[in-house]
Chain A
């Protein structure tokens, strides 16, 4: 069996796995909730991958990266740059809207981070923000994009604080604001947040992360409001895990000795 490389992205909401072969082609992609009460869900996913592929090297990334044994631990910003650069070999910006943060990464054509920005300690405009507000508005996440696309409203949420934004939404509901306008208003709040970030001009902006994957309407709204060359990467939720897999492959190619015992025998550390 030829060698494969595993990237694991332990995000705040979901854990994503990507396996690539020696030609850097994706041969497996899986996603499970990070905060599953049952640790065995993670163990089972790992065991399954390790039994099906001849994994030569593992790179873990995401906030939970230190909670799995791996050959490499890289930040999600480094992996996002590497992941998007697998297919987009150009100088670019990357906007990664995750569960609890927003990141802007400037990457060179080879996937090295040249500059970056992360939001401060606040979840406004992130996946958690959308989930919390949608929950208060009794909106189904899966229908939000479709609903928002039916609205032309410019009504947006003023509060930066997720908790206060929930109170604001309550006022909208009592005021009889149509559900389509509420959906669009939540997205406008996210766009407002992104608009304040230091985005560089003159290069394409690639979107990745779970929020873009689940809220396709947001990409169009961002393009309209930011007046930027915005492109959504293929399988946006997996871009960071793909970068991790790619870095695992590069690690093996950097003339290090091949592991003697296969990863299948390795026990995962307990969180």
Chain B
């Protein structure tokens, strides 16, 4: 049995989700306009989840070289290379886990470059493979604030996706259904935020490591009642743990923030390493990226455009500094770990001295570790262990 009941519940939810992935089916990026696709009547599949699954199951290392052989460089997104490599080898962990013969075939592919341009190349590959329409939402990038003009721009692109999706489904979008879907997304996102915020209390009942797994519904089932119900139950469970003073990390001595991508193939090892050193990683920009406070069912398209354009990864360094300052304060953070992910330039935030500026602004010390989201050839176990153990000891000394 898992530490949290919600982890067991998640397994059955995901099974139900994957076995129902039949046509009409759309692929979507994880912070893409899934509400539009659901409201049009598509089942929605998220290749980034598949990429993470390849990393977490430590099969990515088997597939990445196959993508290199096909001409995809070894320093581009290792979600992309793992996913394309697995496809070229005709394998998927979904077969063993859920009995799927292959990844589900799309009728439509939609991506949003609010995270990175790599998704355009990744999804474009599959568009050519499956011969289906590929629609790209390309919002303004690296912005400090989201303007009305930016929202107008993105709404215009949503309308193009709605038109193409409607043609495939043979019926126009039902805006009433879109409003209902956005309402469910909002409920789910608010509950997800409340779940994450339970970690503001010391000792925390929840860690970043739990979050990387338990975030699956807000990514893949956003806009559904299943997602809302899951996080309501999870919130109840965490509140019970808080009342019982049950900590996720026994004898929590320091509280850390994780910035950047997870290292999917080393989640357990890193979770154990921090716990051994009585360090609780209680918050992250990664998990918080699916907190969408802007959703408004009465203005679904504009609120979606704003929510998906103002995500952390799409913001300027100044905006990122402000967001991080607030999170460090809200979660009572003693130290921040930046993950410099070799193949994920867009979600690596240590390369333009943000750690230095953040430390100057907040006094919170930072550590940068080298690694990768999926390609473990870029991860050195011994070096990372040494850095983390030293950093945690340093933080303990500073707290004395």
Whether the pair A101, B383 counts as a contact (CB closer than 8 A) is yes
**Which B residues lie within 8 Å of A116 (CB)?**
390-391, 394
- Contact partner, A113, options B340, B380, B383, B397, Cβ 8 Å: B397
**Which A residues lie within 8 Å of B370 (CB)?**
120-121
- Contact partner, B386, options A75, A112, A114, A115, Cβ 8 Å: A75
Whether the pair A113, B387 counts as a contact (CB closer than 8 A) is no
> Interface of chain B, helix or strand or loop or mixed?
helix
Whether the pair B390, A75 counts as a contact (CB closer than 8 A) is yes
List residues of A (24-66) whose CB comes within 8 Å of B's CBs. 63
Q: Is A78 positioned at the interface, with any CB of B under 8 Å from its CB?
A: yes
B266 to chain A, nearest CB (A): 14
B65 to chain A, nearest CB (A): 19
A199 to chain B, nearest CB (A): 14
Q: Is A77 positioned at the interface, with any CB of B under 8 Å from its CB?
A: yes
**Which B residues lie within 8 Å of A226 (CB)?**
none
Q: Is A223 positioned at the interface, with any CB of B under 8 Å from its CB?
A: no
Q: Is A118 positioned at the interface, with any CB of B under 8 Å from its CB?
A: yes
- Contact partner, A121, options B378, B389, B391, B393, Cβ 8 Å: B378
Whether the pair A78, B380 counts as a contact (CB closer than 8 A) is no
Q: Is A21 positioned at the interface, with any CB of B under 8 Å from its CB?
A: no
Q: Is A180 positioned at the interface, with any CB of B under 8 Å from its CB?
A: no
- Contact partner, B394, options A63, A74, A113, A118, Cβ 8 Å: A113
Docked complex Cα distance between A242 and B221 (Å): 56
A143 to chain B, nearest CB (A): 32
A43 to chain B, nearest CB (A): 22
Q: Is A76 positioned at the interface, with any CB of B under 8 Å from its CB?
A: yes
Q: Is B365 positioned at the interface, with any CB of A under 8 Å from its CB?
A: yes
Docked complex Cα distance between A191 and B141 (Å): 39
Docked complex Cα distance between A22 and B382 (Å): 32
B351 to chain A, nearest CB (A): 11
Whether the pair A121, B390 counts as a contact (CB closer than 8 A) is no
Q: Mark B370-400, 1 if CB is under 8 A from A, else 0.
A: 1000000011101100110111011001000
Docked complex Cα distance between A113 and B388 (Å): 13
B336 to chain A, nearest CB (A): 14
Docked complex Cα distance between A113 and B387 (Å): 12
**Which B residues lie within 8 Å of A115 (CB)?**
365, 394
Using a CB–CB cutoff of 8 Å, the interface residues on chain B facing chain A are: 340, 365, 370, 378-380, 382-383, 386-387, 389-391, 393-394, 397
Q: Could you show 20 A-B contacts with beta carbons less than 8 Å apart? A: A63-B382, A63-B386, A75-B389, A75-B390, A78-B390, A78-B393, A112-B394, A113-B390, A113-B394, A113-B397, A114-B397, A115-B365, A116-B391, A118-B383, A118-B386, A118-B387, A120-B340, A121-B378, A121-B380, A121-B383
Using a CB–CB cutoff of 8 Å, the interface residues on chain A facing chain B are: 63, 74-78, 101, 112-116, 118, 120-121
